[in-house]
Amino acid sequence: MGEITDGFLEAIMLIVTMNPEIMEIAGRSLYVSIIATFVAALIAIPIGALIYYYDFHGKRAVINIVQTLYALPTVIVGLLVYLLVSNSGPLGSLKLLYTTNAMIIAQVVLVSPLIVGLTIAALSGLDKEMKYTTMALNARAYRAMMTLVREAKYAVLSAVVLAFGRAIAEVGAVMMVGGNIRHFTRTLTTAITLNTSMGEFATSIALGIILLTIALIVNFGVNILQHHHGRMKDD
């Protein structure tokens, strides 16, 4: 019992005093996940819009696969990206293994299906007539998709925020391709894993509190967006 209480007190001290190493780790976590989410959104929102906009054979199957990939195990992503960026892999010459860039790639792969799937869902939530209207007004496909994504912006944005939440909480992939190197690729999750196994509970708890706070903020953000989205639909 004493260990946990002490751990908590020490953790709060570490946060209040803005312990440099803790702040550095939190900063890196935010950096990696924000960049990864941003890149994933740039790739995944257009893909989602394309899948929504065009009718093609096997569309249902594609959507099913995308949805299955929501639950893609992080270690599988880690393995895939590891193989990709390791010295003997196709991107080996770029020397990405054990860098934050490799971690970003892994998180992009991890959260892109989520954004693709939720973008399709967001657009499907619009009236079918809205798509017809853009077509009848003779929009080229890309203009129509832009109009429709803009119209579903709250739902799409909450998909992106959700993806960020999955990215920052993930540990397996960043551990494998980042290596958890101190001052270099150590993030909140990998640091908690390491510190806990070393018995450094105070540091773990401090990092955990920060991670949980970020998760709360993310959830709060999603709620606000969904509330806004819901209100729009009611009108």
Partner 1 sequence: MTEEIISVRGLAKSYGKKEVVHPLNFSVKRGEILSVIGPSGAGKSTLLRMLDTIEPASEGEIILFGEKVTKHSAHSLRNRMGMLFQKTVLFERTVEENIALGLSYRFVSREETKKRVTEALESMGMSEYAQRSSRTLSGGEGQRVSFARVLVTKPEILFLDEPTANLDPVATKVLEEMILHENRVNKTTIIINTHDQAQGQRLADRVAVMMNGEFVQFGSADEVFYHPVNESVAKFVGIQNIFTGVVRNGNAVSGGVVFCPAPHFPDGIVQIMLRAEDISLSKTEVPEGRISVQGRVVSAERSGAFLNVMVDAGCIFLVICPFRQTGDTYVPGEIVQIAWRIAAVHFAKAV
170 binds partner 1 (CB under 8 A): no
**Distance between CA 52 and CA 151 in Å, rounded?**
14
> Counting contacts by CB under 8 A, is residue 137 touching partner 1?
yes
Q: Where are the alpha helices (DSSP H) in the chain?
A: 2-16, 20-53, 59-68, 74-85, 100-124, 128-136, 141-151, 153-169, 172-178, 188-197, 201-234
The DSSP call for residue 98 is: T
Q: How far is the CB of 223 from partner 1 (least distance, A)?
A: 21
* Residue of 143, 182, 227, 233 that binds partner 1 (CB under 8 A): 143
Nearest distance from C-beta of residue 232 to partner 1, angstroms:
7
Least spacing, CB of residue 218 vs partner 1, in Å: 25
Q: Which stretch binds partner 1 (CB under 8 A): 100-108, 113-121, 147-155, 205-213?
A: 147-155
Told to check if 61 binds partner 1 by CB under 8 A, we report no
- Binders of partner 1 among residues 94 to 133 (CB under 8 A) are 127, 129-130, 132-133
CA–CA dist 161, 89 (Å, integer): 32
CA–CA dist 45, 214 (Å, integer)? 24
How wide is the angle at C-alpha 71 spanned by C-alphas 78 and 206, nearest 5°? 65
Measured from the CB atom, is 129 or 197 closer to partner 1? 129
Asked if 226 is part of the footprint of partner 1 (rule: CB under 8 A), the reply reads no
Smallest separation (angstroms) from partner 1 to the CB of 30: 31
Which of 140, 197, 199, 234 forms a contact with partner 1 (CB under 8 A)?
140
Would you state the structure tokens that stand for residue 178, as one six-digit string? 């980042």
State the nearest-atom distance from the C-beta of 152 to partner 1, in Å.
Answer: 10
Contact 189/29 with Cβ under 8 angstroms?
Answer: yes
Q: What is the CA radius of gyration of the chain?
A: 21
Binding segment for partner 1 among 44-52, 145-153, 160-168, 207-215 (CB under 8 A)? 145-153
Q: How far is the CB of 147 from partner 1 (least distance, A)?
A: 7
- Of the CA atoms within 13 Å of residue 193, those in its CB half-sphere come to 16
Tokens of 90: 């196709």
Name which of 38 and 153 has its Cβ closer to partner 1: 153
Residues that bind partner 1 (CB under 8 A): 127, 129-130, 132-140, 143, 147, 150-151, 232, 235
